[in-house]
Amino acid sequence: MKVNVEGTAHFRMLSGEQIEGVLSGAMEILERVGVQVNDEEMVKLLQEGGALTEGENLVKIPSSMVERALQSAPHRVVLANRDGERNLVLEKNRIYFGTGSDCPNVIDPYTGERRPCLFDDVLRASKVADALDHIDFFMSLGLVSDVPRMTYDRHQFLAMAMNTKKPLIITCIDRNGLSDQYEMACLIVGGEEKFQANPYFAVYAEPSSPLTHSKEAIERLTFAAERGIPIVYTPGVSGGATAPVTMAGNLAQGLAETLSGLVISQLKSQGAPFIMGGVHTIMDMRTGIFCYGAPELFLLSACMTDISKELNLPMFSTAGCGDAKVLDEQAASEASLSLLMAGLSGASLIHDVGYLESGLLGSLDMLVLSDEVISMVKRILRGIIVNEETLALDVIADVGPGGHFIGKEHTRRHLRAEHWLPKLMDRTNRDAWEKGEAKTMGRRVREKVIDILEGYEPPALDEQLLGELNTIVAWADERYRGK
Amino acid sequence: MSTLVETISREIVSGHIDESIEAVKDALQGEIPPQEILDDGLLPAMERVGSLFQEGEIFIPDVFFSAKAMHESMNILRPLLAPSQSMGMGRVIIGTILGDIHDIGKRLVGTMLEGAGFTVIDLGVEVSPDAFVQGVKAHQPHILAMSSLLTTTMMNMGVTIEALLKAGVRDQVKVLIGGAPVTRDFAEEIGADGYGSDASAGVEEAKALIATLKGETGKGE
């Protein structure tokens, strides 16, 4: 592990040779095994681009096609907020943290009860995410369940956009759902041209491991490519179940899935913004759970980030999540380890902050705890600066043996930049802590959640605009009525 | 118990498929009655596998191999057993629901059901409600098992149950559902008969459904 302590600290997991090995493996998988592409038109397009096809939908992709796609994909992708401010510049070693999406359940912040996620829960999540300093982008956290099933995604998008200005990553039920959300987003930012200049959201899509691109995934890839909407293409790779049990094989196969998605996106539209990803983890061999708190996930995510830098593509990584059922000691350990690892790796978008129960439970508690951990991680990432002023030799000479530094101007001058300041972590002495009701971290976290929910005013959408957005949602509901 | 039967048991527990088949053939050549091979060899082996798994001594892939060994051994024994035994536990049709191609869990459950003595007919992935209805009509299963990994597609399970009702075949079959986002509450909400929180729980639920089926109708095979 190499640590650069001048400015940003970051590490590398893989050597250049290891990266080459995994890349070569991915290329070999694409040429020898191929990928299944469940879309006739796309199979044809791939064939015309130089791929070999077998049967109806098995496509073998030569490495030259992958190389062409890597050349044409942009090396930087920008995401803007609701006001068009270009807040996220996805480039090497610029890191941003955000939530995950579509957990079927939430923990009710008032009753502590675990229950299905409702529209109001996504409103709460977007409000909390907006209030937190270290959450840079927002995914829905929960899957809205109290609206019509076939149009849930438009409702969910509305709940996301209503309570936060931050850039979004959205999911959709199908092409129509994506199209409606795109229309809503364009309405918000002031038209299609404005969206394309400063994309307000990226679209989430995933291949299905092993080595399959579903019709739904292709729909998302092509819709996004045609309109210049950034796409996050991210396989969920389950080591030992949907991919080899060995870490290298897990990486190579997932990378083959991602790179074939890149080829599809670039064939559809050269230069289409593409963010690579991958939740590369293991299946727990006792429970069958797809692990979100496994050290292998943290390790593989950092490895894939190394590979993304080699490929010059932005990376969608994973952290701040776990397999714990509530915000307990396990959850805190999972959040801390994963956030530090992902931060040090230098991934572009680090998502799933707030996931508990292996992605089945979206937790505002986990989100708020992680926000504090992220701020610690960012302090570590800032590293140290070594120069005359920071070495402080004159100050040391001035104080001399036996003196103190509290009364030095140098201390006052640098303390705010050099010391991380806790907001939730407790550093009081025992007496003070006990006088403050001896609150555990869990209680302090929940109180902050409630404080935000009760006291924070998110930047509201214009009333008339909200009305127009609601009309689009209502039209969609009408179209699908009875289906 | 004869050492030949003990060998079968040991090979199945170890998940040695070829060796299990050989051991069953050896036992038959040694003129051990098929029923005894089943009762003293195969069935205790799978019980042992179940308890080793519960204790955390062995893992899902180990169970998978044992279930395969059990299934292959049953294929040899089945023609030799009395008809009342040869049908095993019951028939299951299984598939992932419309819109969902994730089938690793379904395959695991299928294999483990076979290991537990069920006859499994795999309808594949993205099985439409209509295809499930046709499957019930064609195969007359005791259990229809369906799974969904995605939260966005799991509602199609309810649509499938409605289709069974419309086609008038709902009461001919027990419906068992599973998949990561599925819960017992959800199963009740859409009117399924059973739910498995993971593969082994799914197999236990299938056994329980067969037991109630026998209780309800007095039939059984």
Residue B56 sits at the chain A interface (C-beta within 8 Å): yes
Q: Distance (Å, rounded) from C-alpha A259 to C-alpha A308?
A: 11
Looking at residue A103, the DSSP 8-state letter turns out to be B
- What's the confidence (pLDDT) of residue B117? 83
What crossing angle do the helices spanning B104-115 and B60-77 adopt, rounded to 10°? 50
Tokens of A62: 């030569």
- What's the confidence (pLDDT) of residue B220? 43
Long-range contacts of B184-190 (CB under 8 A, 24+ apart): B186/B154, B189/B158, B190/B157, B190/B158, B190/B161
Question: When comparing pLDDT for A288 and A45, which is higher?
Answer: A45
Residue A114 sits at the chain B interface (C-beta within 8 Å): no
Question: When comparing pLDDT for B113 and A189, which is higher?
Answer: A189
- What's the confidence (pLDDT) of residue B1? 61
- CA–CA min distance B19, chain A (Å): 24
- What's the confidence (pLDDT) of residue B84? 63
ipTM, interface predicted TM-score of the complex: 0.84
Task: Using an 8 Å CB-CB cutoff, list chain B residues near A102.
Answer: 151-152
Record: contact B60-A288, CB cut-off 8 A: yes
B116 confidence band (pLDDT: 50, 70, 90) = confident
User: Closest chain A residue to B153 measured between Cα atoms?
Assistant: A173
Strand-pair partners of B118? B90
Q: Distance (Å, rounded) from C-alpha A177 to C-alpha A148?
A: 12
The beta-carbon neighbor of B198 closest among A240, A288, A360 is A288
The beta-carbon neighbor of A143 closest among B59, B60, B151 is B151
Task: Using an 8 Å CB-CB cutoff, list chain A residues near B105.
Answer: 288
Range(s) of chain B covered by CATH 1.10.1240.10: 3-86
- What's the confidence (pLDDT) of residue B200? 83
Residue B37 sits at the chain A interface (C-beta within 8 Å): no
A4 confidence band (pLDDT: 50, 70, 90) = very low
Record: contact B60-A173, CB cut-off 8 A: no
A5 confidence band (pLDDT: 50, 70, 90) = very low
Mean pLDDT of A317-343: 98
Characterize B1-11 residue by residue with b for buried, 16 or more Cβ atoms within 10 angstroms of its Cβ, and e for exposed: eeebbbbbbbb
What residues contact residue A142 under an 8 Å CB cut-off, 6+ apart? A102, A103, A104, A105, A106, A117, A118, A121, A122, A125, A362
What tens digit of pLDDT does each residue of B159-201 get? 999 999 999 999 999 999 998 888 888 899 999 999 998 888 8
Which is nearest to A171 in space by CA: A158, A185, A189, A157? A157
As a whole number of Å, the end-to-end CA separation of chain B is 28
Q: Is A233 helix (H, G, I), strand (E, B) or coil?
A: strand
The beta-carbon neighbor of B101 closest among A103, A208, A358 is A208
Task: Using an 8 Å CB-CB cutoff, list chain B residues near A290.
Answer: 180
To probe the interface with A, which of B104, B112, B148, B157 has the most A CB atoms within 10 Å?
B104
Task: Using an 8 Å CB-CB cutoff, list chain A residues near B162.
Answer: none
What is the strand order of the sheet A52-54 is part of? A52-54, A58-60, A35-37, A212-213
- 10 Å Cβ neighbour count for A456? 13
DSSP E strand boundaries for A207-251: 212-213, 231-233, 236-239
As a whole number of Å, the end-to-end CA separation of chain A is 55
Range(s) of chain B covered by CATH 3.40.50.280: 90-217
Domains present along chain A, CATH in parentheses: 1-384+422-483 (3.20.20.480), 388-418 (no CATH)
Ramachandran quadrant class, A232 (left: phi over 0; alpha: psi -120 to 50; beta: rest)? beta
Characterize B137-173 residue by residue with b for buried, 16 or more Cβ atoms within 10 angstroms of its Cβ, and e for exposed: eebebbbbbbbbbbbbbbbbbbbbbebbeebebbeeb
Q: Is A371 helix (H, G, I), strand (E, B) or coil?
A: helix
Mean pLDDT of B120-128: 92
Tokens of B114: 């076979």
Task: Using an 8 Å CB-CB cutoff, list chain A residues near B198.
Answer: 287-288
Mean pLDDT of A237-257: 97
Q: Distance (Å, rounded) from C-alpha A425 to C-alpha A440?
A: 10
Tokens of A408: 């030095």
Tokens of A452: 């935000």
pTM: 0.91
B151 confidence band (pLDDT: 50, 70, 90) = confident
| % of chain B with per-residue pLDDT over 90 | 58
Residue B34 sits at the chain A interface (C-beta within 8 Å): no
Q: Distance (Å, rounded) from C-alpha A213 to C-alpha A402?
A: 68
What residues contact residue A274 under an 8 Å CB cut-off, 6+ apart? A73, A74, A77, A230, A231, A233, A261, A262, A265, A266, A313
Residue A192 sits at the chain B interface (C-beta within 8 Å): no
Task: Using an 8 Å CB-CB cutoff, list chain A residues near B102.
Answer: 208
Record: contact A287-B198, CB cut-off 8 A: yes
- CA–CA min distance A285, chain B (Å): 5
Above 50 in pLDDT, residue A1?
Answer: no
Under 8 Å between Cβ of B126 and B101 = yes
- What's the confidence (pLDDT) of residue B85? 60
Please give the class, per CATH, of domain B90-217: alpha beta
What tens digit of pLDDT does each residue of A353-408 get? 999 999 999 999 999 999 999 999 999 999 998 999 999 999 999 999 999 999 99
Above 60 in pLDDT, residue B10?
Answer: yes
HSE toward the beta carbon, residue A478, CA cutoff 13 A: 6
Q: Distance (Å, rounded) from C-alpha A363 to C-alpha A360?
A: 10
Weakest-pLDDT range from A312-326, B8-22, B201-215:
B201-215
Record: contact A143-B60, CB cut-off 8 A: no
Residue A290 sits at the chain B interface (C-beta within 8 Å): yes
Weakest-pLDDT range from A22-26, A63-67, A146-150:
A146-150
| % of chain A with per-residue pLDDT over 90 | 94
The beta-carbon neighbor of A149 closest among B105, B155, B198 is B155
Residue B152 sits at the chain A interface (C-beta within 8 Å): yes
- What's the confidence (pLDDT) of residue A449? 98
B3-86: CATH topology: 1.10.1240
Under 8 Å between Cβ of B106 and B96 = yes
Under 8 Å between Cβ of B113 and B120 = yes
Task: Using an 8 Å CB-CB cutoff, list chain A residues near B180.
Answer: 290, 358, 360
Environment class of A133 (CB within 10 Å of its CB; exposed 0-12, middle 13-18, buried 19+): exposed
**Separation of CA A437 from chain center:** 36
Which is nearest to B84 in space by CA: B138, B135, B145, B34? B34
Above 90 in pLDDT, residue B154?
Answer: no
Average pLDDT, chain B: 89
